[in-house]
Amino acid sequence: MVTKQPRLADVARAAGVSTATASMALNETGGRRIGPETRERVRAAAAELGYRPNTVARGLRTRRTQMIGFVGDDVATTPFAGQMIRGAHDAAREAGFLLLMVDTSGDKDETAEAIGALQERQIDGIVLATMYHQVVEVPDAIGSTPCVLLDARTADGSASSVVPDERGGTLGVLAELTGAGHVRIGHVTTREEVQARAVRLATWRERVSDCGVDPEPLLVEVEDATTQLGYEGALELLSRPDRPTAVFCFNDRMAMGVYRAAAELGLSIPHDLSVVSYDDQELIAPALHPGLTSAALPHYEMGRWAVVELLRRLDDPEAAPVQHLMPCPVARRHSVAKPQ
């Protein structure tokens, strides 16, 4: 058995001062009340004993726990979540905070329960992460706990939030195609009602129309955003008269299906068909052959931003909420070429 953890009182005794002095010396608080030589003596004693403050006791007194709650719906089941968590984690750690995680199935009651569990532990603030960028309401359970939305936003802008700039990302990958000379650009997408779908679709429509091309004959919609349905959709699209010279896919998984369809139809990418996509998933986009050009979802940066913003609100509770759009940089690879 190791000897018990030393308390502040032990440090104070070893340095021959009171606990008040020890506390002020170690925390640089209390103004210039502590003499430099005393401060050094306390520091030395603390180091000698291997003193680590008990943040539970400190938190009780200061009403600050240096912990941030991170609640996500289905955090772990989506491959993106990791990057969001890591971004939030890194920003928190740099400021001396730790992340207390709760995962919910997205259910309302469960979310309220999770928030309650975090509040009982007196977290200083909460990051509410929703996978797949949606418009949500801040749950009542939040009460007056400072809170930032991650990959989601409120309709009325009453809370700070950060979401990816889907429109910008779409324009980015489409520019890769138009820049190479494509105008007949197809789109294969899902029918699922997610924000991402709507924005990517609308932006594509607009951009293709701008090129003087009617987008409707170049559109394929399937049930879900799976590889299999991406394959089936592409097979259909590429068999139409006046086949597009390039395809913009809703996401990388569908793009993977498009690759297969192209191969089966004897179309070589990028020579006969250029392909761009969205999400830039590390297991897919660089692994396909040729490497897939894709707009990246900036999950790491969004996670960071959310925590930095939360910390700002902790410092200044009066600060006005901010809605942030995070750019989606294009990962340029080898799936785009000039049309024949």
Q: Which residues bind its own copies (CB under 8 A)?
A: 1-2, 52-57, 59-60, 65-67, 75-79, 81-83, 85-86, 89-90, 93, 98-103, 116-122, 143-144, 226-228, 231, 253, 256, 260, 263, 281, 283-284, 286-287, 289
B/e letters for 306-316, b = 16+ CB within 10 Å, e = fewer, are bbbbbbebbee
State in angstroms the smallest separation of the CB of 17 from DNA. 4
- End-to-end, the C-alpha distance of the chain in Å comes to 76
Q: CB under 5 to 8 A by kind: which of its own copies, DNA, none does 95 bind?
A: none
Q: From CA 253, how far away is CA 271, in angstroms rounded?
A: 21
Q: CB under 5 to 8 A by kind: which of DNA, its own copies, none does 154 bind?
A: none
State in angstroms the smallest separation of the CB of 12 from its own copies. 18
State in angstroms the smallest separation of the CB of 302 from its own copies. 13
The structure tokens listed for 183 are 């105008």
**Cis before 36? omega within 30:** no
Give the footprint of DNA on residues 14-43 (CB under 7 A): 17-21, 23-24, 26-27, 29-30, 32-35, 37-38
State in angstroms the smallest separation of the CB of 161 from its own copies. 21
CB closer to DNA out of 4 and 266: 4
State in angstroms the smallest separation of the CB of 336 from DNA. 57
- Environment class of residue 50 by beta-carbon count within 10 Å: exposed (0-12), middle (13-18) or buried (19+)? exposed
Q: CB under 5 to 8 A by kind: which of its own copies, DNA, none does 7 bind?
A: DNA
**Hey, how many other C-beta atoms are within 10 angstroms of the C-beta on 339?**
18
CB closer to DNA out of 63 and 340: 63
188: β partners: 220, 249
CB 127 within 8 A of CB 306: yes
CB closer to DNA out of 146 and 186: 146
Q: From CA 169, how far away is CA 63, in angstroms rounded?
A: 42
State in angstroms the smallest separation of the CB of 278 from its own copies. 15
Q: From CA 44, how far away is CA 75, in angstroms rounded?
A: 44
The structure tokens listed for 217 are 């004959």
Q: From CA 278, how far away is CA 271, in angstroms rounded?
A: 21
CB closer to DNA out of 30 and 157: 30
Sheet holding 330-331: strands in order across?
A: 219-222, 185-190, 246-249, 274-279, 293-296, 330-331
Count of chain residues binding DNA (CB under 7 A): 28
Kindly give, in sequence order, each residue whose CB lies less than 8 Å from that of residue 123, ignoring residues fewer than 6 positions away. Answer: 65, 67, 68, 69, 100, 145
State in angstroms the smallest separation of the CB of 89 from its own copies. 5
CB closer to DNA out of 38 and 228: 38
- Give the x/- contact pattern for DNA in 50-89, rule: CB under 7 A: ---xx--xx-xxxx--------------------------
Among the candidate windows 6-14, 153-161, 205-213, 317-325, which touches DNA by CB under 7 A? 6-14
Kindly give, in sequence order, each residue whose CB lies less than 8 Å from that of residue 34, ignoring residues fewer than 6 positions away. Answer: 21, 24, 25
User: Which chain residues interact with DNA by CB under 7 A?
Assistant: 7-9, 17-21, 23-24, 26-27, 29-30, 32-35, 37-38, 53-54, 57-58, 60-63
